[in-house]
Structure 1
């Protein structure tokens, strides 16, 4: 055999090395091809994903084409009404050009809804729910169930006076149910007991539940006492039935609001301390540079004096921008979270306790700021001393006794 041929075919390291080298090169080529294929596949996948994002964005910002069917249009009106009512927005929102542009951009085929149309939808929805409530209450009374009412009156910021009537009952599944029956606009300037009883019975008669009223919870105003007496006279004329043999009686059905009684106890304590809060917060106002003279007469009673001082400080921190900002900076420097300072009012339950609670949280920043400030040097004449801060801590502990019962009722 020729030596060259023999050398080429004989087994040994040269042939093995060549075979391994060839195999390695083949593996590298295959791996390179696989990697290239994976990279290409990854790029294709990423490109497809990006394309879908672009298409989705284009589809979102492109107005929809096609007419709206009655189902979707009806659902749109329901959702729009729920959105406006739940967020306490004005009904006139739907008439504003910017809102209509937004709706047209999302769906050009959506019909424009006017304020009057939306008001009609609201009235229709209200009537439907009211009818369902009336049927449920009448069925409850027919089966022998009893109802408890609560009523309260207030004055709005525009001077209009209203009264709310709520109803409470336990259904056949022993579930406590409650709902607002109505909110009355009290148009008469004098809210006599006769007038209030007339308005109350008009609502219960309208729902057909007058003979099912068991108790009425109210505050301690004298006109409410007269209202219940007149209501008792009015319901006595209703015909009794086997299911409802007893009509409303003041002796058994008059329930006085416990939270209101607790607030009266707190106000009585403040009266004894000669520190009853004022209804008008502007009464605590101090002109710049006149804190030591204007309307401030130190009381010989220590508790009354410190509460007057605190209320005037709170008014300054709430109504003077420089003082408010300085207090925030001071509290932040000390690592204390800033809370909102509030003034107490006679008709706001637990307001004195909450005033003391928030002020005592900022005791250190208030002390530091009042001692170093140069914005109004006259405020140093009514600075709260360390002994007076101890008095405030004691008052907070005292008024805390009334907080939990008032919150639970």
Structure 2
């Protein structure tokens, strides 16, 4: 299960997860031995691999042809993707999605291999030995999308409250990966409110981002007790009709700060909740839908209205469920307890900023997300740390103006970064352990 709702009606999509794959460790005493295992899954859940740290390959056959895209919601924590023995893509970070595009594949059965690596080392600035597990495996869903030469990369929808009611600022990114130019029309529909057709001409291998502003004065406000969601759909067509689409959801709500208060839809907000790790004694970080919902039911039963995703972006299924049940979310990039020496790793800034970019690109539409966070308990008391914090806060503001920003600190009076975000956050440890 990838999302809680249908994301395409025209584009053909197949889920490759939710099935058994072949797994083989690449290092250690069991190297080369073959196992059957569930994807999504963590190899630590398998009897022989409870403490395995190394490289493992997950493989299966897929039947396809032409142009397609493989979408991985999470591979821990470094991935290398091969098709018929040829590397077609790679990615770093367990907690953000990535896609690998392939063109001109001959019809037939093909071998898909995903090499997952959960080892620590200089190349990994964010995944380090810590007080929570860095699991190994394909820990979230996998999709195969059959694409035409031109397709919709994403829809971003940001609600804005103005004097005359709600508006939606919508951006649609369209890509053309063919060797020829493409002329097409782009349509947008938000809760039955249709835009005028936008004529597009894309160069060979080109892309365009198209911006819309739609009035939604009659839209119901997304509230904790009334989490009203609306569908937004983008469609591409040409002289032969509609050939691609993308469907997402949004909620009309406003989150902002005023003095010492956080305001949700203009009303003072009292946040009560928990920090949540994606971790389970049976499933590791590859929690199934029912286990995610059980976490949320437990939190709500204890009186919570909010969850912080400590310390990394969470599975989008979790955010879908929070959207639907009116649970507020502080979502943050992946960096926990990094010293100045850790932050001076030459890979740190690039990997941390890429995590922010992938997190916001994937999750900006979720009304439940009310705070973007960064760098839990890192070197915020140093000049170098300050520059890193500022760059990451600036990146968030550039990508999304609509949400406040924060980072949890344990530096107290020595922290020099408190003037950067809208929300100052302390971690307190009374009678810790």
TM-score range, shorter chain: under 0.3
TM-score (norm 1): 0.24
Tell me: higher relative CO, structure 1 or 2? Use CA pairs within 8 A at least 6 residues apart: 2
Of Structure 1 and Structure 2, the greater strand share is in 2
The structure whose Rg is larger is 1
Of Structure 1 and Structure 2, the greater helix share is in 1
